[in-house]
Amino acid sequence: MSWYHPALFALDAERAHALTLRMLSLWGGAGTPLARDGASYPRLATSVAGVTFANPVGLAAGVDKNGEAISGFFGLGFGSVEIGTLTPRPQAGNAKPRLFRLPEDRAVVNRYGFNNHGFNAGLANARSAKRRGTLGINVGANKDSEDRIADYSKGVAAAAPLADYVTINISSPNTPGLRDLQSGQALRDLLAASVAAKGTTPLFLKVAPDLDPAGVDDIARAVIEAKVDALIVGNTTITRPGLRSSNGAETGGLSGAPLAPLARARLADFRTATGGAVPLVAVGGIGSAEEAYARIRAGASLVQVYTALVYEGPGLAARMLAGLDALLARDGFANVADAVGA
């Protein structure tokens, strides 16, 4: 465990999360990077959907929902930071407690329910942040919305002028009925509306790991037909694979190390289903350079982390960058793109 764990782990998980964001917002506001930036590793620079990434290691959505510590997270070495999920109107999310550590499993269960301050607040933070890398903005629908597709369309249109890419998140298990948008005509209507709203900004789609083969194939066809720019695979899981912690019984989405096998399998499924025609972003159980490299070799153009930060600490991104650079050099790859799917 890192130096700060005993103090933070003594706090309620959600309070510790808020304190971490506050600390990073202060460091970021001072403008002092906490780690070597991506320019220190030219081999790690890459381009996905026409967007330049200083390195392929990104911060997943959900860590900094309201964009309060964008500069601070870039200062940790991340090549990209994805804020959100932001909804049109502020919403409190589900009742507390709603975030649970599973230390024996190096995992977390959350049932936040898209708690956020709304588009206006999140986009204002994005507008004023010191950027040191690529900014993604993740948008969703309000829980009580009468027209969720309209919510996504509004979010994409609002975020596109500020973002390097926009993600539509239809994969959270904590908003009832949200995952129904992952299939059939509902998915196609959503993609059509979102593509129409994005202008020239690349559009990414974030899907769940809890998909069967038919669901994977349906999403792959829809994404290719709609010309979505990339797929983020995936989100938290509602399954509970062999957990030791008592908190594993909590309702919500599981993330962290136990998610890795499922996330790897789903990445492989989407690589096959899309035939490599759509860039893939791997998320779920990634906490080391070795795991990130394995996902890249399996077909991911980018990787994102979240829960590993809880257990590996703020130096995680910097260690992953150094390790990835060494692994690419060891295997004779001139850059990240050459290793994708190799």
Q: How many CB atoms lie within 10 A of CB 224?
A: 14
H or E element at residue 231: strand 230-233
Q: For position 30, what pLDDT does the model report?
A: 66
Q: Where are the domains of the chain?
A: 5-331
Q: How many CB atoms lie within 10 A of CB 11?
A: 12
Q: Is 285 annotated as a binding residue?
A: yes
What's phi and psi for 297, nearest 5 deg?
-65, -25
Q: Is 253 annotated as a binding residue?
A: no
Q: Is 234 annotated as a binding residue?
A: yes
By C-alpha distance, which of 104, 143, 107 is closest to 239? 107
User: CB-based contacts of 162: which residues, under 8 Å, 6+ apart?
Assistant: 123, 126, 127, 135, 137
Catalytic residue among 172, 194, 255, 301: 172
User: CB-based contacts of 172: which residues, under 8 Å, 6+ apart?
Assistant: 85, 113, 114, 140, 178, 179, 235, 236, 253
Q: For position 47, what pLDDT does the model report?
A: 98
d(CA 155, CA 263): 27
Q: 208, 171 in Cβ contact below 8 A?
A: yes
For the segment 227-256, what is each residue's pLDDT rounded down to a tens digit? 999 999 999 999 999 999 999 999 999 999
Query: Residue 100 has which token pair?
Result: 């649970």
pTM of the model: 0.96
Is 301 noted as a catalytic residue in this protein?
no
**Type of residue found at 14:** E
Q: How far is CA 224 from the centre of its chain?
A: 21
Q: Is 235 annotated as a binding residue?
A: yes
CA angle, corner 301, sides to 297 and 83, nearest 5? Answer: 135
Task: Report the mean per-residue pLDDT for the chain.
Answer: 95
Q: For position 10, what pLDDT does the model report?
A: 84
* pLDDT by position in tens, the chain (length 342): 344 567 778 889 999 999 999 999 998 766 666 666 556 899 999 999 999 999 999 999 999 999 999 999 999 999 999 999 999 999 999 999 999 999 999 999 999 999 999 999 999 999 999 999 999 999 999 999 999 999 999 999 999 999 999 999 999 999 999 999 999 999 999 999 999 999 999 999 999 999 999 999 999 999 999 999 999 999 999 999 999 999 999 999 999 999 999 999 999 999 999 999 999 999 999 999 999 999 999 999 999 999 999 999 999 999 999 999 999 999 999 999 999 999
Q: For position 289, what pLDDT does the model report?
A: 98
Q: For position 5, what pLDDT does the model report?
A: 67
Answer CATH for 5-331 from 1.10.8.60, 3.10.300.10, 3.30.540.10, 3.20.20.70:
3.20.20.70
Q: Is 294 helix (H, G, I), strand (E, B) or coil?
A: helix
Q: Is 152 annotated as a binding residue?
A: no
Q: In what order do the strands lie in the sheet with 253-256?
A: 99-102, 107-110, 253-256
